[in-house]
Chain A
Amino acid sequence: MSGQPGSDPVTCDVVVVGGGPAGVAGALTAARRGLRVVLLDSGARLGGQYFRHPAVAVRPGTAGFDRFVRQARALDRQARVLLRHQVWAVSRDDDLVVHCLAPGGGAVTVRCRGLLIATGAHDRALPFPGWDLPGVLTAGGAQALLKGDGVVAGRRIVVAGTGPFLLPVGAGLAGAGARVLGVFEAGGGLGLARHPLPALARAGEAAGYALALARHRVPYRTRRAVVAAHGERELEAVTVARLDRDWNVLATRRIACDTLAVGYGFVPQIDLGVQLGCDTRADVDGSPVLAVDGAQRTSVEGVWAAGEPTGVGGWRLAELEGRIAGLAIAAHAAPDAPAAGRVTEALIRRRGRLRAFGRALQEAYPVRPGWRGWLRDDTLVCRCEEVPLGRIREALRLGATDARSVKLLARPGMGWCQGRVCGYAVARLAGEPPGPPRRPVVQPVSLGTLAEPPHPLSWKDLP
Chain B
Amino acid sequence: MSDAFQITVDGRPVPVTRGQTIGAALHAAGVRSWRTTRLGGRPRGLFCGIGICFDCLVSVNGRPPERACLLDARPGDEVTTS
Contact = CB atoms under 8 A, between A and B. Distances in A.
A178 to B, nearest CB: 12
B33 A417 contact: no
Most buried by A among B25, B39, B54: B54
A386 B42 contact: yes
A246 to B, nearest CB: 27
Interface stretch (A149-157, A181-189, A450-458): A149-157
B9 interface: no
A137 interface: yes
Interface in B1-46: 3, 17-21, 24-25, 27-28, 32-33, 37-40, 42-46
B54 A417 contact: yes
B27 A383 contact: no
Contacts of B54: 384, 415-417
B52 to A, nearest CB: 5
Chain B contact residues: helix, strand, loop or mixed? loop
A132 B53 CA distance: 11
Contact of B52 (A43, A135, A417): A417
A141 B28 CA distance: 13
Contacts of B21: 148-149
A96 B10 CA distance: 45
A435 interface: no
Interface residues of B, number: 35
A123 B45 CA distance: 17
Interface residues on A, range: 35 or more
Contacts of B17: 54, 56, 149-150
Interface in B32-74: 32-33, 37-40, 42-55, 57, 64, 69-70, 72
B17 to A, nearest CB: 6
A150 B15 CA distance: 13
A141 B47 contact: yes
A140 B72 contact: no
Contacts of A446: 64
A250 interface: no
A138 B55 CA distance: 12
Interface of A: 42-44, 49, 54-56, 122-123, 125, 132-138, 140-142, 144-145, 148-151, 153, 233-234, 383-386, 415-417, 420-421, 446
6 contacts: A44-B72, A135-B32, A135-B45, A138-B49, A151-B27, A421-B53
Given A133-B43, A149-B20, 13 more contacts: A122-B50, A134-B43, A137-B46, A137-B47, A141-B50, A141-B69, A144-B69, A145-B24, A151-B25, A386-B38, A416-B53, A421-B48, A446-B64
